[in-house]
Structure 1
């Protein structure tokens, strides 16, 4: 009996970077991911986030300890509640109360904007360092400590009013996500322009099933 060793050459993070690079034709150089506990801790360290819950969200799953019970209205959510707010998908009251991926994305963007506003108002570097310390053990990234500090300093000076969301026109149908071709190409072109991606770089990055020169069909690079 022989032992066979396999070397993992691709992780979830590297695959996401590679996929986004090919589809959007922009260089995705780094990633940062944070686990649920880290998300809760950061929100609590920021003394919560104020959001306008648009409808009642209710889901109870005793098998994993999930208990979501949020009522509509403007309110400050703590770490646990904020995680419930961005995670809600199924609902105990039935399918018509479910949250789609687009609902979840909208809520996530809302929370990120509030967090950005709070980061900009921290003022003191000691508070920023404390926040990084709280998040530290729950973060996974390929950034160095120095790069993380530099990024944190940049984020502190960003105002939510400068954040822009790009609508790709995506919609859900029969278990699949479909993208509006023209809106997707607009998103891709906008990102390339803002990142100053050169035309010669684009040809090297291209691995997309959607091509600007072929607006009638969808093709896949082999």
Structure 2
């Protein structure tokens, strides 16, 4: 299957959805498109009531409206049907789930152990954690290879995961588990959500331990 470019509207609205509340930079980080194209979509979507500006405490940015969520669901269905990507999405999700379980178990186990570590053992264990996460990153690339070939917008996930790992090696744990930035955990969670929503499903359809 040769790769087909998703529409800029799909990529932009999905970027807003995945981020939850996204400033311009956050949308650009997630949309696989040029700045001018992305801002054009946001402008038109805002005028159509598909997105709106939200401010809550010190958090502000674009958010998807209920109308926008329904519109995006229709766009993702049309993309899946027109590009014939249902099978490759299903295959990628099935292959991702066991890797996801290992990722969740690894990070959770490290977080539980971290408060009791002294500085020296903490540094050593962080190194071990990053080594294990790097292995999972390699598995992630294999899992997504066919999907990235079919839908190149999914190519951002392995690249941003690897970038977060590199930053974690220099700057510490926030690039592994932090929120408000494209940490390993955030990139991983957004990928999981993207796989489900691209198939017209929700992660909340899963049992708690598998989300």
Pairwise TM-score range, normalised by the shorter structure: under 0.3
Between structures 1 and 2, the one with greater helix share: 2
Higher gyration radius (CA): 1
**TM-score, normalization: structure 1?**
0.25
